[in-house]
């Protein structure tokens, strides 16, 4: 059976509400969302990732995304992608592993939503560093999207406002010809 899946990338720096947004959109569209594997990695390993962990994190994220895509029809909401893993590698280590860069280049998302860093920054154990890093990562994300000419929508405001903005994009995507 062939399934029509529309992958939606939900990108953003730390503490921007990506997970909450992904879960809410999946509920509203009676679909699935793929949680950020990094969160599980940090909880399981009880440490932040090293540079050598980045490829495994990105591969795990993609494997989970592909498994979810096999179970859903319609929108699949992806709470981050290897694109973000590569951005964090660049920010923290100044380089990206070639295999991770290859995963990053295979950007296959029909819709890209970017969560703005306009919500209060909240510490989250080992996973979040600081407001300054959040701003640095956000700018690196915008720069990379622009360099790669990837169309995106910047979502701002509280959850309700972000959901409304996302729904407008998703609705127009669903009704677009072709």
pLDDT band at 2 (very low <50, low <70, confident <90, very high): very low
Contact by Cβ (8 Å): 114, 154: yes
Question: How many angstroms separate the CA atoms of 164 and 25, rounded?
Answer: 10
More confident residue, 135 or 3: 135
pLDDT of residue 108: 87
Question: How many angstroms separate the CA atoms of 154 and 21, rounded?
Answer: 13
Q: How many helices and strands, by DSSP H and E, does the chain display?
A: 7, 5
**pLDDT > 80? residue 114:** yes
For the 5-175 domain, the top CATH level (class) is alpha beta
pLDDT of residue 131: 83
Backbone CA torsion sign across 91, 16, 116, 74: positive
Backbone angles phi, psi at 103, to 5 degrees: -60, -40
- Write the pLDDT tens digit of every residue in 72-85: 989 999 999 999 99
**pLDDT > 80? residue 176:** no
**pLDDT > 70? residue 86:** yes
Work out the mean pLDDT of the chain and round it to a whole number: 91
User: Percent of the chain, pLDDT > 90?
Assistant: 78
Element (H, E) at 111: strand 111-115
Domain boundaries, the chain: 5-175
- Write the pLDDT tens digit of every residue in 9-52: 999 999 899 999 999 999 999 999 999 999 899 999 999 899 99
Antiparallel, parallel or unpaired: β 5-11 and 111-115? parallel
Element (H, E) at 153: strand 153-155
Report if pTM > 0.75.
Answer: yes
Question: How many angstroms separate the CA atoms of 162 and 114, rounded?
Answer: 10
**pLDDT > 90? residue 125:** no
Question: How many angstroms separate the CA atoms of 43 and 41, rounded?
Answer: 6
């Amino acid at each position: 059976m062939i399934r029509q899946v529309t992958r939606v990338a939900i990108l953003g720096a730390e503490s921007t509400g990506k997970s909450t947004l992904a879960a809410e959109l999946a509920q509203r569209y009676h679909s699935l969302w793929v949680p950020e594997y990094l969160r599980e990695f940090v909880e399981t390993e009880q440490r932040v990732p090293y540079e050598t962990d980045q490829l495994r994190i990105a591969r795990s994220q993609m494997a989970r995304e592909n498994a979810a895509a096999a179970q859903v029809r319609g929108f699949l909401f992806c709470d981050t992608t290897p694109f973000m893993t590569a951005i964090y590698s660049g920010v923290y280590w100044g380089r990206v592993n070639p295999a991770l860069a290859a995963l990053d280049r295979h950007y296959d998302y029909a819709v890209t939503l970017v969560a703005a860093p306009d919500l209060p920054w909240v510490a989250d154990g080992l996973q979040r560093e600081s407001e300054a890093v959040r701003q640095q990562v956000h700018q690196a994300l915008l720069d990379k999207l622009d360099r790669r000419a990837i169309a995106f929508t910047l979502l701002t405001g509280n959850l309700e406002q972000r959901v409304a903005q996302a729904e407008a994009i998703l609705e127009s995507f669903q009704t677009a010809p072709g």
